[in-house]
Amino acid sequence: VIKDTSLCGLGQTAPNPVLSGLRYFQEEYEEHLFERKCSAGVCKELLTYTIVTEICNGCGLCSRKCPSDAIVGEPKHPYTIVESKCIKCGMCVETCRFDAVEAN
């Protein structure tokens, strides 16, 4: 609509990058907007971090490194991530030596 109704050249060409993106990557746009998901795993705001209880040995390293204190638990027992506190920084994934933290 903007492209067709604009009276200047800049207004007519300004939407071109967005229109091209929608044309060639429509499925990805829809995935992000409607499913709140990023298959590429690059949009941290859309990721959900979880600790796999079968893998977590309760070392607590992720909890100590978490800047928002979103990881709770008792030593030697599997920890959990409090999603409402998680700022999705990914520090838990980077820190865990046992690959017990998943980003989905």
Report pLDDT for 47: 86
**Side chain identity, residue 34:** F
Report pLDDT for 5: 83
Please state at what angle helix 16-24 crosses helix 26-34, rounded to 10 degrees: 90
How many Cβ atoms from other residues are within 10 Å of residue 63's Cβ?
20
**Structural domains of the chain ordered from first start:** 2-34 (no CATH), 47-103 (3.30.70.20)
Under the banding of pLDDT at 50, 70 and 90, the label for residue 9 is: confident
pLDDT in tens, 43-86: 888 889 999 999 999 999 999 999 999 999 999 999 999 999 99
